[in-house]
Structure 1
Amino acid sequence: MISIVILTKNEEKDLPISLSSVDWSDDVHILDSGSTDKTLEIAEQYGAKITYNAFKSFGEQRNYALDELNIINDWILFLDADEVVTDAFRKAIFEAVSKVDNNVAGYYCCWKMMLENTWLKHCDNFPKWQFRLMKKGMARFTDFGHGQKESDVKGYIKYLKEPYLHYGFSKGWTQWINRHNKYSSQEAIARVQNKPPFKHVLSKNSSIRNPALKSWLCKLPGWPFIRFFQAYILSLGFLEGIPGFIYCINMAYYEFLIQIKIREHKKNL
């Protein structure tokens, strides 16, 4: 079987559907960082194992899970509470781990970004990849921007093309904007202090190429507008209607926040 680790803090709205989608696992862990709503009560109802650890960063929280949780299976799937495993994704991960050789550390996974029941395939530049399915002891995580990426990989990482669902707007736009205001500060510092070399822009590996593209493209004058034009016009985001337009506007605003915070950060160096 495959163990599940879900990071939570005040996730009573999203957690039930996420836990329902992994009821096939015999080892589901909730790593909570101080919920004050019904998150833990819901986790108990679904029979999940609950552990507390104060949140510092996504990378550190996932590494804490690797080090401290009693994970009983060889394979671990990391999820956020607003992510849902479909039947097709479940079948794909079971097939992947059953045929894999010993040198595979895990899989990059991709998601369908959902807004108002619309899959933002074009707006969100599908597929985007994150290291989420890993073999225990074969890799760790390191912080990158507001998120994380893989580190200390023993072997190599493959790609799992079947997506899961990501409901990143389920708590409303006020929550999304507040969260991304914080994320933009972290992203600005990362793009200044941890800028990848330019050669990574040409990498065939999207997990290497995309962070490099973000760091170098944000130096362009008018980059937020370019980001909107690329997603909404060039990538055909307009085909996704009003949800696509709203998403592209807000992602351009997010890039604008990162740009002005980079400028502010450099002034304070």
Structure 2
Amino acid sequence: MPNRLSVVMIAKNAADVLPECLASVAWADEVVLLDSGSTDSTVEIALQAGAKVFINENWQGFGKQRQLAQSYASHDYILMIDTDERVTPELASTLKAVLDNPQPDAVYSIARRNLFLGRFMRHSGWYPDRVTRLYARSRYRYNDNQVHESLEAPGAKIIPLKGDLLHLTCRDFASFQRKQLNYATAWAQERHQRGKRVSLAGIFGHTFGAFCKTLLLRAGFLDGKQGWLLAVVNAQYTFNKYAELWALNQGYTENKTL
């Protein structure tokens, strides 16, 4: 008998993207959605699709929210996805095959195809952009990071799967920029709390390095105009992270949890 799958996601005000996400995993044994205080129809959409919905407005960061969401799942394996992601038919077939015969002490990585300003990127560090998302519920969980959280799986073998996870990263540029700024602030606050410091020279060194890494080392120029724009966006994000950390170090910014 195959192992059973719980698809787990966290959400807030995702009504515009949630229906297609849920439709792409309708074949799963269970869908668990943890909402963090939506004011749109996110909760209603999830319930109508048959998802198990829970609410936690005590936001402590992405890592802890994913941990809590996973605690509501009841099946053998977890597939952790975001509301702006879609499981392709090829990936769904691969996942079902894995559940029939999973390898012990293994977690599974999935290639994401990221959308940026109308183009699914093929370079720029945005493809294959592998993320470890399929794992045994009883053995692994996400770390506590406020942002850029990842699965804790020490000693586990990471097996790449066939098939892509479509990620609607940047559908609206203004919204994308606001999200990036929030991520940068949370990143800086977390590093500051750990006692990390940065100099002015470090700010500009990291910023220039991010631009060159995206455009040249990761062949962003092959993604055309979107590749050039993404290189600038990545540099801007890096600048915001380190400038905010520097400001916190100097006492110019209040360290408040988002």
- State the TM-score bracket (shorter-chain normalisation): 0.7 to 0.9
* 2:87 alignment partner in structure 1: 85
List runs of 5+ in structure 1 lacking aligned partners: 197-214
Contact map agreement 2:112 2:131 (CA 8 A) in 1: no
1:4 aligned to 2, 7, 30, which one? Answer: 7
Task: Provide TM-score, normalisation by structure 2.
Answer: 0.84
For these two proteins, the number of residue pairs brought into alignment is 244
Counterparts of 2:222 and 2:14 in 1: how far apart (Å)? 31
Aligned partner of 2:62 in structure 1 is: 58
Distance 1:137 1:195 in 2: 33
Show CA shifts across 1:200-255 (max 9, x none): xxxxxxxxxxxxxxx9xx94743222211221233221222222222221111000
Partner in structure 1 of residue 24 of structure 2: 21
Separation (CA, whole Å) in 2 of partners of 1:154 and 1:230: 28
Which structure 2 residue ranges, 5 or more long, are not aligned? Answer: none
TM-score (norm 1): 0.81
- Structure 1 vs Structure 2: percent identity of aligned residues? 27
Look up the SS of the partner of 1:257 in the other structure.
helix
The ranges of structure 1 where at least 4 consecutive aligned residues each deviate by more than 6 angstroms after the TM superposition are none
SS of 1:107 mapped into structure 2: strand
What is the deviation of 1:169?
1.4
Cα gap change, 1:14 to 1:22, in 2 (>3 Å): same
1:88-237 to 2 correspondences below 5 Å: 88-104=90-106, 106-144=107-145, 146-151=147-152, 153=153, 156-162=156-162, 163-170=164-171, 172-191=172-191, 219=202, 221-237=204-220
SS at match of 2:143: strand
What is aligned with 1:205? none
**Structure 2 Cα separation of the partners of residues 145 and 231 of structure 1:** 24
Inter-partner Cα distance in structure 1 for 2:247 and 2:148:
21
**Aligned equivalent of 2:47, options 31, 44, 47:** 44
Letter in 2 for 1:39: T
The one-letter amino acid of 1:257's match is N
What do the CA deviations read for 1:32-61 (whole angstroms, capped 9, x no partner)?
Answer: 111111112211221211111123211111
Structure 2 contact 79–133 (Cα < 8 Å) conserved = yes
Q: Aligned residue for 1:256?
A: 239
Q: CA RMSD in A?
A: 2.5
